[in-house]
Chain A
Amino acid sequence: MESNLITEDKQKNKLEKAFEILKTMASKPSGLIGLTIVLFHVVLALISPYIAPYDYKAISPNTMLLAPSAEHWFGTDSLGRDVFTRTILGGRTALTVTFFGSLIALLWGGLLGIFCGLVGGKIDDVVMRVVDAFLSIPWILAMLLIVSLLGTSTEVLIPALGFFYGKGIVRVARAATHDVIAKDFIVSARARGHSNMSIIWNEIIPNVRDAILVEGAMRWSWMLLGFSSLSFLGFGVSPPTPDWGLMISNARGLMSFAYWSVIAPIVGLSSLIIGINLTADAFAKALGIDRSTKAPV
């Protein structure tokens, strides 16, 4: 019973901590704006299937390229589909793919980086040169190759994006680990005879977690841009699934006289990226203030 109480207490502490970090993030205008935008997009992605006024794939020659009106708030596209419907649904795939992609990137990049940083020596040398070699390949070419070989389903896109965006995280995690392993508490754990796994789990991860999470949040926004670029090139999700990149690509030829069909997805995409960036910045600041420069008062 008593131990149960302790764990409950701890969990509560963790929740409280997360809440405190959110509060710190929201205390600055830029953080508040970022959080609001991200929250807005997430909520929209969750509820959009239920509030979409039209069927996203209903084609009609009668409603081609209509300007915004009371019926079609953002107008219609060249196939007569409602742009508002497609815009609010268009964020769903992008958010899901990039969220899980970032998670994968964080996991493999973070763990590999920490491992290399701790072990050092030859293993570190070899792994880092391989990572460097991958970094030198333009990711979009490699992505195009993968997508054209394996298809454009989300099952392919998530791990592929996760892999390509994780390379950079390896370096960040490794550098953060190097900062930590010089400290005496790691030496102390080593001298006690802890295994590498135990040192990584108990001593290193709690100290590099923040740096890696912040990096992951930044990568998320880059991945979103990358994913949309793929769609724009026609290698992302396949039509008729609504997607911002695809919508921009389809409508770009008509931009001069049907600007509405391109503006809505652009606003959606860029606001989400800006939102994530602002949030990541505020997140970093909140963690930084919380951990190092907090006055003893």
Chain B
Amino acid sequence: MNEIIESVKNLSIGFNSQKGKQISILRNVSTNIKKGETVGIVGESGSGKSTLALAMMGYIKQGLFPLKGECLFKSEDLLKMSSRQLEKIRGRKIAMIPQNAGQALTPNLKIGYQIDEALKLHTDLNKTERDKKISELLNKVRLPSPETMAFRYPHELSGGQQQRVAVAMALAGKPDLLLLDEPTTGLDVTTQAHVLELLRFIAKDTGTSMIYVSHDLGAIAQVSDRIVVMYAGEIVLEGPARKILKEPIHPYTYGLLKSIPKLSLAGLPASMPGSQPQPGSINEGCSFYDRCNLANDNCKKNSPDLEHIKELDTNVRCFNYKELLNQNNNLQTSITKKSNNSEANEVLKLKDVSISYAKQKFFDQLLNKISDQNPTVKDINIDIKKGETIALVGESGSGKSTILKSIAGLLKTKDGQIKFEKDRILSSDLKKRNPNDLRAIQLIFQNPDESLNPNHTVEQILSQPLKLYFNLSGDELKKNIIDLLKKVRLGEFYMSRYPRQLSGGEKQRVAVARAFAAKPDIILCDEVTSALDVSVQAAVLNLLQQLKEDLGTTYVFVSHDLAVVRAISDRVAVLYQGRLCEIGPSQNVYKFPSHPYTEVLLGAVLEPDPDIKPKLVAEDIVEEKPPEKGCSFQGRCPRKIGDICNSEVPPWQIGENGNAIRCHINIEELASLQQ
């Protein structure tokens, strides 16, 4: 068990900048991987975690080169090997599972063939043995009906199944070390929980060592024995998983853990100020100095070494870690948010809204109607009160973004009405809406890289809505822009910057400022934090909450992340396949009784706590389209009671907590089942 199979010694990797300076991305990294151990490497984007993981299989991205140090795999230096020698090791001794299996699998080859290729390359089995091995592997990764699965093409599989195939391929060569680079990041919550469970099983079953790279401490917590925390190309904390997650003794890890929204906590997570330094901009002193609340003059001048603490079996790179030793009970705290009064007026009302993506037939086009009996989104009734934050939650394909788009007027509704302020019906055609209604509803998008024009300066970006809605120009325009930047806590000097010169969090702040420039009544937030790092996510959530409290804006907040929703929203609507399952005040939706789908979602949430294991109550099947009759969740429901679920749309039941659930099971019975 204690045999070390790979050891990294003083590794530095860097590149030459355009100015000819040598800039390091990894600095003096040393770590050991023991046999049978799963090591989680965690860090925010740009921390060098992927570079480290790839170097561990002897691969260095183009443009980068090793500056010093070595990567010893069974006492041979991978970085000095020829590509021939590496070929013998990769796949057979060290295998990798990529982030996006959908892209890693060849789209025009059947998956059985692709696994066979890996087997041919890495084993000496003959054809019949290989065939047997393929179904054995497919069985091992728990794919349904492995016999027929081998004859399918990658696109016929869901994201989770593709990831399982990638795992099967990686296992084909019986590797000693498995490298996983964000293997569950693109997957839905329930699928993610299943894949992690599978990985844990495989690690135990085969005794393979694993290196699990992720930005998600929740996922890392579920699989890792040991955790390595990276910051700005350095290891800042390394130790047993439980110790790191429960008693983090490095201020960065501490802050990171605090900035993750948790299901068990209402209120907003605390954010960390600042952002990670860019490679090359690190001067002397501790790289975390700017953001650290324990920092003193010593930290500014001297860079701390990785110090080994025997009693905790932990390595830490901090002068002042002792101050954190006794502080860890504070991890379970959050910022309480002001909740609004529920007496407020309705500002937006969705009445029987259905939306269809089906193409109109010729006659329907003439009659200008849509005759889709089974639309993507059906019968949505939501009343949104002024000043509240209502969240739409669901997995991909639940129709949450579709609803948002039709509120914004970007998608036509099939049936139903969207009413705004005192029952005035908003046209479902954007061109027919009056300018004031357009101003009143603004959108913030998921990815600020896409939602900000890369060729505009921040000033140009923010002046667009100001010019369009308020006809501002000259000094007044400039003054307004500076005010907006101040509101989102950015300085005046950001005006002349281009989006590419900003960090992810800064970009999203500009996007928030642009939405607020219109002085809107309602802001539609489409997964606004899911492209951001956790510490930045917490800051953006806090900013949104602050702006709402100051300006009384209403948010419609779409997210797949139940913990984020828990943190920011007043009310939650759970959607499955474009149909509402449950709606209610957020503190009640997170309590039982809940709709079976909410139960499944809540069970699958990964908390950064090794003691809270996800509960897997439903299969992670992906349904292509909603069922034509009956309950939308009939295909996956763990509490299905019989034919009635397939034939009749369940009624709304209102629980004593005030949350409405759409289920055939009596609400009291549901409560006792879920206890």
Contact = CB atoms under 8 A, between A and B. Distances in A.
Interface of A: 2-3, 183-185, 187-194, 198, 202-203, 206-207, 291, 294-297
Contacts of B518: 192
B430 A193 contact: yes
B316 interface: no
A193 B468 contact: yes
Interface of B: 15, 17-19, 21, 23, 278-280, 408-410, 430, 433, 435, 438-439, 441-443, 445-447, 450-456, 460, 464-465, 468-469, 474-475, 500, 514, 518
A184 B442 contact: no
A188, A198, A203 — most chain B CB neighbours (10 Å):
A188
The 4 closest A-B pairs by CB, nearest first: A206-B455, A184-B451, A193-B438, A184-B450
Contacts of B441: 191
Nearest to A208: B455
A185 B408 contact: no
B528 to A, nearest CB: 11
A297 B455 contact: no
17 contacts: A184-B451, A185-B452, A187-B445, A188-B443, A191-B441, A192-B438, A192-B464, A193-B435, A202-B456, A202-B464, A206-B453, A206-B456, A207-B454, A207-B455, A295-B17, A295-B18, A297-B23
A185 B278 contact: no
B19 A190 contact: no
A251 to B, nearest CB: 49
A187, A207, A291 — most chain B CB neighbours (10 Å):
A187
A23 to B, nearest CB: 12
B541 to A, nearest CB: 20
B451 A291 contact: no
Given A187-B445, A206-B455, A297-B21, 13 more contacts: A3-B474, A187-B410, A187-B451, A188-B443, A191-B408, A192-B465, A194-B464, A202-B453, A202-B456, A203-B453, A206-B453, A207-B453, A297-B279
B17 A185 contact: no
A183, A189, A191 — most chain B CB neighbours (10 Å):
A191
B468 A185 contact: no
A188 B446 CA distance: 12
Contact of A191 (B23, B410, B456): B410
Contacts of B451: 183-185, 187-188
A190 B410 contact: yes
B19 A184 contact: no
B401 to A, nearest CB: 11
B17 A297 contact: yes
B445 A188 contact: yes
Contacts of A291: 454
Given A297-B18, A297-B278, A192 B450 contact: no
Nearest to A183: B450
Contacts of B21: 297
B544 to A, nearest CB: 17
A194 B468 contact: yes
Contacts of A190: 410, 430
